[in-house]
Amino acid sequence: MIHNTSLRRGFTLIEMLVVTVVFMLLGTLLISSLFSILKSNTKAELMKEIRQSGSYALDVMSKMITNGTITESNCNAAGSAITIKNPDGEETTFSCGDDPTRIASGSAQLTSTQSIKVKSCESVFQCEMIGENARQVIINFTLTQQGFSPRPEEQAQQIFQKVITVRNK
């Protein structure tokens, strides 16, 4: 029996279904990996912003506290504010305040952006006497994103901590 192959010019239904299913699977994998990349990119951008803001705040406070003086009355237990006396004789108060939760010095906001806040203002600054006249300031705060996201891949926070020894008496 000889088959005439010139009459067979298309694909069978089974072949079409197999190709359709393969393309659907590839499309699903591509879309899910694309969404995963976008989610991780969003979190990476937020973490970068948190790191930059926290590092900037720590650097500014560290330089001013190191070069300033802290009186015994200003060196008290842990709190949400600390006052230092600058080399020029002026006083600077670093404080953690609410609405929005941020660390600031007067009108200068050190950690204020639209997407970042300080998690808690309790015990951000701790001043200790280490010897007769030496003082040590411990700064400890956590920066987190504004708002709340139930998905872990969209949550970003970082702890910042630094121990600073005051040079001047």
Dump the DSSP string for 89-158.
S-EEEEEEETTTTEEEETTEESS--SSEEES--TT-EEEEE-SSS-EEEEEEEEEEESS--SSGGG--EE
How does residue 87 score in pLDDT terms, banded at 50, 70 and 90?
Answer: confident
How does residue 4 score in pLDDT terms, banded at 50, 70 and 90?
Answer: low
* pLDDT value, residue 36: 83
Residue 151 lies in a domain: yes
Averaged confidence pLDDT in the chain: 83
Residue 3 lies in a domain: no
Residue 85 lies in a domain: yes
Residue 126 sits in which domain range?
8-165
Residue 2 lies in a domain: no
With pLDDT > 90 as the criterion, what percentage of the chain qualifies?
A: 17
- CA-only gyration radius of the chain, Å: 29
* pLDDT value, residue 8: 65
Residue 13 φ then ψ, to 5°? -60, -40
User: Residue 1 pLDDT > 60, yes or no?
Assistant: no
How does residue 5 score in pLDDT terms, banded at 50, 70 and 90?
Answer: low
* pLDDT value, residue 24: 96
Give the pairing of strands 108-109 and 102-105. antiparallel
* pLDDT value, residue 129: 82
User: Residue 137 pLDDT > 60, yes or no?
Assistant: yes
How does residue 73 score in pLDDT terms, banded at 50, 70 and 90?
Answer: confident
Tally of domains in the chain: 1
Residue 83 lies in a domain: yes
User: Residue 98 pLDDT > 90, yes or no?
Assistant: no
Residue 1 lies in a domain: no
